[in-house]
Amino acid sequence: MQHVIIGTAGHIDHGKTTLIKALTGRDTDTLKEEKERGISINLGFTYFDLPSGRRAGIVDVPGHEKFIKNMLAGVTGIDIVLLVIAADEGIMPQTREHLNILNLLDIKKGIVVVTKKDLADEEWLKMVIEDIITEIGDTFLRDAPIIPVSSYTGEGLEKLALTIDELTKDMEDRDTFTDFRLPIDRVFSVSGFGTVVTGTLISGTINEGDICSIYPKEITTKVRGLQVHEKSVKTAYAGQRVAINLANVKKEDIERGDVLSKPNSLQVSMMLDCRLNYLKDAPYPLENRDRIRIYHGTSELLGRVYILDKEVINPGETALIQIRLESPIAAKRGDKYVIRTYSPMITIGGGTILDPNPVKHKAFDEKVINELLLKEKGDPIDIIEQTIKNNSKDFIGINDIIKLSGKNYSNLDEILETLIRKEKIIKLNIGDEEVYLHKTYLEEIKENIAQILADYHRINPLKFGITKEELKIKVFGKNIKQKIYDKILELLCDDTIKIENIYISLKDFNISFNQKQENIKQEILMRFEEAKYQPPKPEDLIKGFGRDERDAKMVFEALVDLGTLVKINEEVYLKAQDYERAKDMLIDFIKREGSITAAQYRDMLSTSRKYAVAILEYFDSIKLTKRIEDQRVLA
């Protein structure tokens, strides 16, 4: 079902609230001060039953220049605007500013309502309408109906209602399949219920009982109840005005400008990359680092503009900019925004958010500019590929891609499969988790690892390779899960590296000894062969080579890495053949006798108790044997 939100706009005292009351029978001015002064200060909300029977929500905005930020909060999410112009006054300054804002926010449909028809004669009314036609000639309202009405006599109201009904029949459907998002425009408490927020649901559906988050504060809460047009419902849909009763959150913890959405669906940021359309009637050029007020959704924030593709932005020009904020925001790619000067507050421009969570950019960086133009073009495949390319180092999954690209594409799975088929990206299946890497990132990792290993082999030519853990820290730091790291190593094993136990080396690397090292190797092996099960202490053995001590240490460690020598403990090493023989003798004896003592094993090996016990404890540690009192049995 299609849901419609109607918004008002126009100069103060041009009859917006009176018009709504005449159409609906309800007064949207609820504050005592509003009734006393006869002007709208805050947003007003009601609903309207169209002639076709459809029910539309109505947002009535204040017209006074002091309350423009309230007006901006109110026009978020509207489908059609009623631009209200009084017949007795015609176009006024706030009419123009409101019209500029509606253009910048890309509102598609509207009706110009000329109120107070009863206060103007036909000639004056005709002149006012001619002025209106000229004023709206280059705006989205250029082909809009212009309907004179009198809220007091009722003249023109029926035609207005029928026109609203007709214009809203073929509206573009809202996206109800993506995560729900509701910019909050009111927060209050209801006795016996607790905290209530209201807003226009701009996407998705929200259900009673849903867990949700309040951004940018990232407070987790739960939907206790929902109301649409003062009626309780179980589900609310994009395009509806919704009141939401929230559980376990205080009124003081929420404010207008916050956004209610699904947990982990939005990325909180302090920067935005944007396309800026600078108004032709802006009072002066916009310069780099100018302080501005930015309006997004129902929020007002302060920030500075950093121009990316120009020195300055002159009135009427467009540019790529980065806005660096003074407080956090939760936005999505494609969202609209408006900026005003810091002081005095004048609307000067607005446009589209291209990246809601960028890094800092320098001006005139061609790579950055081209990426933003790509995002602006809006080709989903290019945007998703760029998102994965820019964030591969964070090992992102589907939810991350949705947040970082700023949009939940209904065919995201299909887009990812296309990119995999074109060999642009790679999918890693890590248990129940899926991680996506760009091919260029994997190539960079491959080159980095190859260089690290080449340097390591050059410095340590007699070491089998670097340990897995050491390589992980050098390449990724601590920013990687072990399962993802293992999967990446698995991918690289085909043509780049080889893995043996805990060591990693280049595919074509093999330990090779020069002549001097070969002589040292033979000397070391001869010493171990002669000593058998009373082997030399490594420290003493190496020191015995005198000036060749460094080479002897390298050769000794290489023999251990190669498995030629087996480490029993820090002081005891055996030749591999002697180790295997000691193990076989032990197994045969226990199988024959049922168990063995340290003394029996000592005599069997013709060694001392010290070495026999060291070897037995090693076999205990690898679960070959098990000690029971002074006996060993097979484990």
The pLDDT of 267-282, averaged and rounded, is 96
Task: Provide the residue type at 3 as one letter.
Answer: H
| Among 234, 261, 288, residue at a domain's last position | 261
28: pLDDT strictly greater than 80: no
Q: And the tokens for 200?
A: 């226009």
Least confident segment among 125-129, 250-254, 494-498? 494-498
Spatial CB neighbours of 308, under 8 Å, sequence gap ≥ 6: 273, 319, 320, 321, 322, 361, 363, 364, 365, 368, 369, 372
Do 429 and 494 fall within a single domain? yes
Out of 304-313, 338-347, 388-397, 473-482, the most confident range is 304-313
Rounded Cα distance between 585 and 58, Å, is 92
Q: And the tokens for 103?
A: 């253009």
Q: What pLDDT sits at residue 35?
A: 38
586: pLDDT strictly greater than 50: yes
Q: Is residue 329 part of a domain?
A: yes
Q: Is residue 174 part of a domain?
A: no
Local structure of 261: helix, strand or coil: strand
Q: Is residue 97 part of a domain?
A: yes
Q: Is residue 283 part of a domain?
A: yes
Q: What pLDDT sits at residue 70?
A: 64
Do 11 and 144 fall within a single domain? yes
367: pLDDT strictly greater than 60: yes
Q: And the tokens for 105?
A: 């926010």
Q: What pLDDT sits at residue 575?
A: 96
Nearest to 304 by CA among 287, 319, 290, 321: 290
Task: Please state the domain count of the chain.
Answer: 5
176: pLDDT strictly greater than 90: no
The pLDDT of 586-602, averaged and rounded, is 95
**Band of residue 2 on the pLDDT scale cut at 50, 70, 90:** low
pLDDT per position as a tens digit, 403-448: 888 777 778 899 999 999 999 999 999 888 899 999 999 999 999 9
Q: Using CA of residue 348, residue 20, residue 298, residue 33, what is the dihedral sign? A: positive
40: pLDDT strictly greater than 60: no
Q: What pLDDT sits at residue 67?
A: 43
297 neighbors 261 (Cβ within 8 angstroms): no
DSSP H helical ranges for 460-514: 468-476, 482-492
Least confident segment among 30-34, 59-63, 260-264? 30-34
Do 399 and 532 fall within a single domain? no
148: pLDDT strictly greater than 50: yes
Do 216 and 291 fall within a single domain? no
Do 282 and 306 fall within a single domain? yes
Q: What pLDDT sits at residue 612?
A: 96
Q: And the tokens for 440?
A: 């260029």
Q: What pLDDT sits at residue 63?
A: 44
Q: To the nearest 10°, the Cα dihedral for 70, 73, 76, 78?
A: -30
**pLDDT > 70 fraction of the chain, expressed in percent and rounded:** 94
Q: What pLDDT sits at residue 281?
A: 92
Do 50 and 141 fall within a single domain? yes
Q: What pLDDT sits at residue 495?
A: 77
528 neighbors 574 (Cβ within 8 angstroms): yes
Do 280 and 304 fall within a single domain? yes
The pLDDT of 333-353, averaged and rounded, is 92
| Among 261, 290, 308, residue at a domain's last position | 261
CA atoms within 13 A on the CB side of 165: 15
Give the CATH number of the domain where residue 328 resides: 2.40.30.10
Q: What pLDDT sits at residue 523?
A: 95
Terminal alpha carbon distance of the chain? 71
Of 342 and 561, the one with more pLDDT: 342
Do 163 and 20 fall within a single domain? yes
292: pLDDT strictly greater than 90: yes
DSSP state letters, 351-411: EEEEESSPPP--TT-HHHHHHHHHHHHT-HHHHHHHHHHHHGGG-B-HHHHHHHHTS--TT
Do 256 and 358 fall within a single domain? no
Do 506 and 613 fall within a single domain? no
The pLDDT of 559-569, averaged and rounded, is 92
Phi, psi of 519 (to 5 degrees): -65, -45
The parent domain of residue 384 ranges over: 379-512
User: Residues 439, 443, 447, CA angle at the centre, nearest 5°?
Assistant: 170
CA 251 to chain centre: 27
Q: What pLDDT sits at residue 74?
A: 56
75: pLDDT strictly greater than 50: yes
Nearest to 202 by CA among 101, 67, 334: 334
**What burial class does residue 381 get, using C-beta atoms within 10 Å of its C-beta: 0-12 exposed, 13-18 middle, 19+ buried?**
middle
Least confident segment among 123-127, 170-174, 465-469, 587-591? 170-174
Give the CATH number of the domain where residue 17 resides: 3.40.50.300
Rounded Cα distance between 364 and 492, Å, is 37
Q: Is residue 139 part of a domain?
A: yes
Please tell me the pTM assigned to this model: 0.74
Give the CATH number of the domain where residue 426 resides: 1.10.10.10
The pLDDT of 593-620, averaged and rounded, is 95
Q: Is residue 176 part of a domain?
A: no
Rounded Cα distance between 108 and 69, Å, is 21
The pLDDT of 70-99, averaged and rounded, is 84
DSSP state letters, 428-442: EEETTEEEEEEHHHH
CA atoms within 13 A on the CB side of 91: 15
State the chain's mean pLDDT as an integer. Answer: 90
pLDDT per position as a tens digit, 513-561: 999 999 999 999 999 999 999 999 999 999 999 999 999 999 999 999 8
Instruction: Tally the residues of the chain.
Output: 635
268: pLDDT strictly greater than 80: yes
Quick one: residue 364, left, alpha or beta (phi over 0 = left, psi -120 to 50 = alpha)? Answer: left
Q: Is residue 173 part of a domain?
A: no
Q: Is residue 172 part of a domain?
A: no
Do 9 and 153 fall within a single domain? yes
| Among 447, 478, 512, residue at a domain's last position | 512
pLDDT per position as a tens digit, 466-512: 999 999 999 998 879 999 999 999 988 877 899 988 889 999 998 88
Q: What pLDDT sits at residue 606?
A: 94
Do 306 and 442 fall within a single domain? no
